[in-house]
Amino acid sequence: MRPLSWCLYLFFAPFCCFHLVQQNRYNTATQLESIARSVREPLSAAILKADIPEAETILARIQPAGVVSRADVVLPNQFQALRMSFIPERSVPVTVTRLFELPVQISLPVYSLERPANPQPLAYLVLQADSFRMYKFVMSTLSTLVTIYLLLSLMLTVAITWCMNRLIVHPLRKIARELNDIPPQELTGHQLALPRLHHDDEIGMLVRSYNLNQQIAQRHSIEQNDHAMRFPVSELPNKAFLMGLLEQVVTRQQTTALMIVTCETLRDTAGVLKETQREILLLTLVEKLKSVLAPRMVLTQVSGFDFAIIAHGVKEPWHAITLGQQVLTVINERLPIESIQLRPSCSIGVAMFLRRPDGRGALWSRRLRRLYRPPQR
């Protein structure tokens, strides 16, 4: 910002300075001409009579008023007849003299009072302005321009600083404080409010990018949590999810059945079938299990070959046994895997939770926990 202001100042200051100096030169020349015309007629009479003392007296009556420094009477043959100095000449820098064409002087012809057909000037009255006075005006003009520049720079600096604080610093400070005050539990998915005057600038873009990244991070976190509660490949709820559901069943004292399905074929084919073939086998068995379950029932996978079914809606043991037989039937069907014909086999265990007032539900829940500990325990 400062180099630009200096360039503008260096570009406009000379024009302003020369304009003001030329205006002052014009005013000075006008004053000199007015003074010369006021003494031209009596001076013409004195020159016509060749009365030098009278001419000197007439020139001495000129009121310099700080403008006229010297008055000369020059004959047509360039002979200097008279010279009258009013103000002592003071030195002016040569550069200023050449640059502003100092001193300012006028030459006014003096004619005879008798009006001949072809009037010829008797002499020329040359009035010269005070160069030092013009020099002081030039320096005063430059000082004024420098002062104006400094004042404008100060005003622009204050205005730009205020605008930057209002439009940039304060919104960024507000955003920084809001981010600093976010509770840890609300950090994921936190959204910033878009500032009122920054819908289409970089701060608005920053806020929108932050909000978008927070939304993406929140979705990613949800997906991670979702994957953490699901078993790989089959995407079925895992053991942690199952235990949470069982806790809810026990807490609510709901009558339901738990069915454990162990597929020996999945266990025995490890190392025999390719990984892709085992995945096909697993997904096919999962689809078959889902086909015999009601929409309310939950199918989970607790290990590479163990499945658990929470059979909501099963109220009687015979209903659970019937469901187990249906599961055995559908799993034992012949299953082609590429060029291999498999007949999967499985084992099923069933446990019932009956709502009774004697507290056996809580005891049965503890047995379930022992049931789902790893085999080595």
Name which of 117, 66, 124 is nearest 90 in CA terms: 66
| CA–CA dist 230, 366 (Å, integer) | 23
Report the pLDDT value the prediction gives residue 363, as an integer from 0 to 100. Answer: 35
Sign of CA dihedral 47, 51, 54, 56: positive
- Provide the pLDDT for residue 370: 31
Tell me if 24 sits within 8 A of 137, measured CB to CB: yes
In which residue ranges of the chain is CATH 3.30.70.270 found?
Answer: 239-371
pLDDT, residue 83, reads 79
Backbone φ, ψ for residue 141 (5° rounding):
-65, -45
Pick the CATH number of 239-371 from 3.40.50.1000, 2.60.40.1180, 3.30.70.270, 3.40.640.10: 3.30.70.270
160 Cβ contact partners less than 8 Å away, ≥ 6 residues apart? 1
The reported pLDDT for the residue numbered 122 is 77
Structure-block tokens of residue 338: 């590429």
Chain center to CA of 253:
58
Residue 372: how many CB atoms within 10 A of its CB?
Answer: 17
Can you give the pLDDT at residue 377? 26
Q: What pLDDT shows up at residue 367?
A: 33
Cα separation of 256 and 351, whole Å?
9
Per-residue pLDDT of the chain (377 residues; tens, 9 = 90+): 555 555 656 666 677 777 777 787 888 788 888 777 877 777 777 777 777 777 777 777 776 666 777 888 887 877 777 777 777 777 778 877 787 777 888 787 877 766 655 577 778 888 888 888 888 888 888 888 888 888 888 898 899 899 888 888 988 999 999 889 888 777 778 888 888 878 888 888 999 999 999 888 888 877 766 666 777 777 788 787 888 888 887 777 777 888 888 888 888 877 777 888 888 888 888 888 888 888 888 888 888 888 888 888 787 788 888 888 888 888 888 878 777 788 888 888 888 877 655 544 433 333 333 333 333 32
